[in-house]
A and B are shown apart, each in its own frame.
Chain A
Amino acid sequence: MNAGDHLSDTDVLTAVRDSLSRTSLTGPPDVAAILARGRARRRRRVIPTATGTLAVAAGATLAVTALTPGSHDPAHRAAHAATRQPTVQLAAWTVTRLANGNITVSVRDLGDPAGLQQTLRSDGVPASVTFASEVNPACSPYPGGTPRHGIPRLLKHVFPEPYRHLAMQHQPRTARPVHGRPPVQRPSPTSSIVVIDPAALPGNAGVQLGVSPGGGALLLPQVVYASRRCTGS
Chain B
Amino acid sequence: MSNEQAEFATFFRASWDPCLRAVLAVVGSPQLAEDQVAEAFARAWASWRKVRRHPAPRAWVVRTALNTGVSWWRRRGHELPLAGHDQTAHDDPWTGLDGSLLMALRRLPRRQREVIALRIFLDLDTDMIAGQLGIEPGTVRMHLSRGVAALRRELTPTNNHGG
A interface list, Cβ under 8 A from B: 2-5, 7, 9, 12-17, 19-29, 31, 34-35, 37-42, 45, 52-54, 132, 135, 137, 139-141, 146-149, 208, 210, 219-220, 222
- The size class of the interface chain B forms with chain A is 35 or more
Q: A9-B148, A132-B72, A149-B34 are in contact. Are A34 and B156 (CB under 8 A)?
A: no
- Do B45 and A34 touch (CB < 8 A)? yes
CB-defined contacts of A14 to chain B, threshold 8 Å: 120
In Å, the complex CA distance between A77 and B95 comes to: 53
- Do B17 and A25 touch (CB < 8 A)? yes
B121 touches which one: A5, A17, A147 (CB < 8 A)? A17
- Do A135 and B76 touch (CB < 8 A)? yes
Q: A135-B72, A148-B35, A219-B69 are in contact. Are A22 and B116 (CB under 8 A)?
A: no
Quote the shortest CB–CB distance from B46 to chain A (angstroms).
Answer: 4
- Do B73 and A146 touch (CB < 8 A)? yes
- Do B160 and A141 touch (CB < 8 A)? no
B73 touches which one: A16, A34, A141 (CB < 8 A)? A141
- Do A23 and B21 touch (CB < 8 A)? yes
CB-defined contacts of B151 to chain A, threshold 8 Å: 12, 15-16
User: Main SS of chain A's interface residues?
Assistant: mixed
CB-defined contacts of B70 to chain A, threshold 8 Å: 54, 220
Task: Tell me which residues from 89 to 108 in chain B have a Cβ below 8 Å from any Cβ of chain A.
Answer: 94-98, 101-102, 105
CB-defined contacts of A149 to chain B, threshold 8 Å: 34, 38
A41 touches which one: B21, B25, B42, B69 (CB < 8 A)? B42
Quote the shortest CB–CB distance from A29 to chain B (angstroms).
Answer: 6
- Do A4 and B154 touch (CB < 8 A)? yes
- Do A135 and B73 touch (CB < 8 A)? yes
B155 at the interface (CB under 8 A from A): yes
In Å, the complex CA distance between A70 and B66 comes to: 38
Quote the shortest CB–CB distance from A111 to chain B (angstroms).
Answer: 19
- Count chain B CB atoms within 10 A of each CB in A12, A29, A137 and give the residue with the most: A12
In Å, the complex CA distance between A124 and B51 comes to: 45
CB-defined contacts of B50 to chain A, threshold 8 Å: none
- Do B72 and A210 touch (CB < 8 A)? yes
Q: A19-B101, A23-B94, A132-B69 are in contact. Are A34 and B21 (CB under 8 A)?
A: no
B152 at the interface (CB under 8 A from A): yes
Quote the shortest CB–CB distance from A147 to chain B (angstroms).
Answer: 7
B126 at the interface (CB under 8 A from A): no
In Å, the complex CA distance between A52 and B47 comes to: 13
A35 touches which one: B8, B95, B98 (CB < 8 A)? B8
Interface string of B1-41 (1 = CB under 8 A from A): 00001001100110011001100110000110011001101
Quote the shortest CB–CB distance from B142 to chain A (angstroms).
Answer: 13
CB-defined contacts of B65 to chain A, threshold 8 Å: none
Quote the shortest CB–CB distance from B89 to chain A (angstroms).
Answer: 13
A13 touches which one: B39, B68, B116 (CB < 8 A)? B116
Task: Tell me which residues from 140 to 163 in chain B have a Cβ below 8 Å from any Cβ of chain A.
Answer: 144-145, 148, 151-157, 160
- Do A220 and B73 touch (CB < 8 A)? yes
- Do B31 and A22 touch (CB < 8 A)? no
- Do A15 and B76 touch (CB < 8 A)? no
Q: List 15 A-B contacts (CB under 8 A).
A: A3-B157, A4-B153, A9-B145, A13-B148, A15-B101, A20-B97, A31-B9, A34-B41, A35-B5, A35-B8, A35-B9, A37-B39, A40-B42, A148-B34, A220-B70
Of all chain B residues, the one with the shortest Cβ separation from A14 is: B120
CB-defined contacts of A2 to chain B, threshold 8 Å: 153, 156
In Å, the complex CA distance between A38 and B77 comes to: 26
Interface string of B48-87 (1 = CB under 8 A from A): 1000000000000000000011111110110000000000
